[in-house]
A and B are shown apart, each in its own frame.
Chain A
Amino acid sequence: MKRFSFMIILVLLASSSFAAGQVPAKPSHADKCPVCGMFVYKYPDWTASLRLADGTTLYFDGAKDLFAFLFDASRYRPGTAVGDIKDIFVKDYYSLSPVDGRTAWYVAGSDVFGPMGRELIPFAKESDAREFRKDHGGLAPLPFSGVTPATLQALK
């Protein structure tokens, strides 16, 4: 376990997209996904998280719910604006380590399902996403800015 967390830290240090050493905290047993209301700690492989400017962290049980929140933050957590969001983390599918959600690539419509059914699968690198498509199908990989409410609608 020690070696594993050391590896995660190494990956994080190596990745230039991170602000120095910012590792997302782990969800507690009480943390619920603001979008679907499920307990997040049960699905560590899928956990996505947002850090707000005031220091609070919100956890989601998948990138799909994270995007649902981004598109309509005030509906799920009144008083929150998209401008308050500082950091976004998603779990890279292959390594299961947290990566910056804004630079990650996403594949929709694959045969891999998350805790909430059809999922947007996040990848640290575009090449990983393309390789994943060969194995598991799905639509063309999207960058962070390419994910739209229509993308989510298609996953419902």
Chain B
Amino acid sequence: MALLERQRRLLDFTLSSLLRRKGKNGALVAVYALTIFLLASVLFFGESLRREASIILADAPSLVVQRMMAGRHELIPDSYADQVRSIRGVRSVKPRLWGYYYDPLSGANYTIVTSEERKNGTIAIGSGVASTRKLAVDDVLPLRASKGDTMLFTVAEVLSEESALASADLMIVTPADFREFFAMPAGFATDLIVDSGNPRECSTIAEKIAIRLPDTRPIVREEILRTYDAIFGLRSGMVLAVLACAVIAFLIFAWDKATGLSAEERAEIGILKAVGWDTSDVLLMKFWEGTVISVTAFLAGTALAYAHVFLAGASLFEPALKGWSVIYPAFRPTPVFDPAQIVTIFFLTVVPYIAVTVVPVWRAATIDPDAVMRT
């Protein structure tokens, strides 16, 4: 109990001494909190993008085969599907139809995919399409087909927002409507999705496809995952590079504040020692001072970052981290709370700060009080 009481009194003393230098300490906490805010925002946002991507890719096919012509993606003939089907280890091959549609009205690119389970003349749209075109279920959406005529689609469903990033710009129609809309010849598909019975055989099947159908490009799901990871990694890397400057500025600031004890502070330590404080008391007092400042900044910074990313939609980084389509004016990342990230931020900021503040104080506190006060 006595020990706790001692700590409480020390903390009490520390707080009042911090309050005596309001301006300086206030500025320190503000800069500190800003740095933590930036760091935490990048981490939160990167993580939520990765989470979105994993939702997208959970149902991704294990192998996609695209036909290439002169280095560009081409329509793939149905006969290719039969050839792929004959490869051992392939359980099923499905031709897939999908494409992009540029909508001049909203200036956005939509992704159109097909599903056999829909009815001709109906369309399912993502939340982004619904909000930019102000559509609800049973409304009619006119779209300009490839041949110049207008096709009317009745909205049958607005897709849920489980992953807004993935489905916001999506439109789902039937294969027949798709062919008519884009004037795509029969007997061709956009690409093939291959289901291998054994996931271990995927790369072997991909190799065989590349040999038997030299004008195709087989894409294994792991490659797609790696690409997504690299893109998100690169994008958060760009922000991190900018952030690095902020971190270094903060480090210089903290180092200056922490290592170069001002004459006033040294005198204070000398007086405390002269009135009977132990070296350990001084160290504890300074430890509490560092803890109060960094924990305050840490809590403020992380809370602000959480609000920024998940409530304000990471408005500061949006251009750097996303920006692949204009459809996402109101992209709200799905809130994720990962304790490991919080601990990472804590150990990157709070612990080093406390460490650097204690060392110089220990040096000052071990010197004879008389000598300290004279300097």
Residues in chain A within 8 A of chain B (CB atoms): 45, 93-97, 112, 128, 131-132, 135-136
Given A94-B88, A112-B200, 19 more pairs with CB closer than 8 A: A45-B198, A45-B199, A45-B200, A93-B198, A93-B201, A94-B89, A94-B197, A94-B198, A94-B201, A95-B197, A95-B198, A96-B197, A96-B198, A97-B197, A128-B88, A131-B88, A132-B88, A135-B204, A136-B204
Please report which residues of chain B, range 88-111, place their CB below 8 angstroms from some CB of chain A when the two chains form the complex: 88-89, 91
List, sorted by A's number, 22 A–B pairs whose CB atoms are closer than 8 Å. A45-B198, A45-B199, A45-B200, A93-B198, A93-B201, A94-B88, A94-B89, A94-B197, A94-B198, A94-B201, A95-B91, A95-B197, A95-B198, A96-B197, A96-B198, A97-B197, A112-B200, A128-B88, A131-B88, A132-B88, A135-B204, A136-B204
Which residues in B have their C-beta under 8 angstroms from that of A45? 198-200
**Which residues on A sit within 8 Å (CB–CB) of B200?**
45, 112
Say which size band chain B's interface belongs to: under 10
State the majority secondary structure of interface residues on B.
mixed
Which chain B residues lie closer than 8 Å to A93 at the CB level? 198, 201
Main secondary structure of the interface of A (DSSP, over half): loop
Residues of B close to A95: CB separation below 8 A: 91, 197-198
1/0 per residue, CB under 8 A from A, across B197-219: the answer is: 11111001000000000000000
A124 to chain B, nearest CB (A): 11
- Cα-based distance from A135 to B197 in the complex (angstroms): 16
> How far is B197's CA from A45's CA once the two chains are assembled, in angstroms?
10
Which B197-255 residues have a C-beta within 8 angstroms of A?
197-201, 204
Residue of A nearest to B91 (CB): A95
Q: Smallest CB–CB gap between A25 and chain B, Å?
A: 21
Q: How far is the CA of A135 from the CA of B211 in the complex (A)?
A: 13
B116 to chain A, nearest CB (A): 14
- Residues of B near A94 (CB, < 8 A) are 88-89, 197-198, 201
Report the minimal beta-carbon distance from B353 to chain A, rounded to whole angstroms. Answer: 44
Measured in the bound complex, the distance between the Cα atoms of B283 and A101 in whole Å is 73
Residues of B within 8 A of A112 (CB): 200
Q: How far is the CA of A109 from the CA of B317 in the complex (A)?
A: 53
Interface-centre pick from B88, B198, B200 (highest chain A CB count, 10 A): B88
How many angstroms between the C-alpha atoms of A19 and B199 in the bound complex?
29
Chain B neighbourhood of A128, CB < 8 A: 88
State A141–B120 Cα separation when bound (angstroms): 51
Chain A residues with CB under 8 Å of B91's CB are 95
Min CB–CB distance A138 → chain B (angstroms)? 13
Please give the distance in Å from B89's CB to the nearest CB on chain A.
5
Which B residue's beta carbon lies closest to that of A113? B200
Q: Which A residue sits closest to B198, measured CB to CB?
A: A96
Closest Cβ–Cβ distance, residue A31 to chain B (whole Å): 22
Interface 0/1 of B56-88, CB less than 8 Å to A: 000000000000000000000000000000001
A residues within 8 A CB of B88?
94, 128, 131-132
CB distance from A5 to the nearest CB of B (A): 14
Please give the distance in Å from A118's CB to the nearest CB on chain B.
Answer: 15
- Report the minimal beta-carbon distance from A125 to chain B, rounded to whole angstroms: 10
B:160-209 near A, CB below 8 Å: 197-201, 204
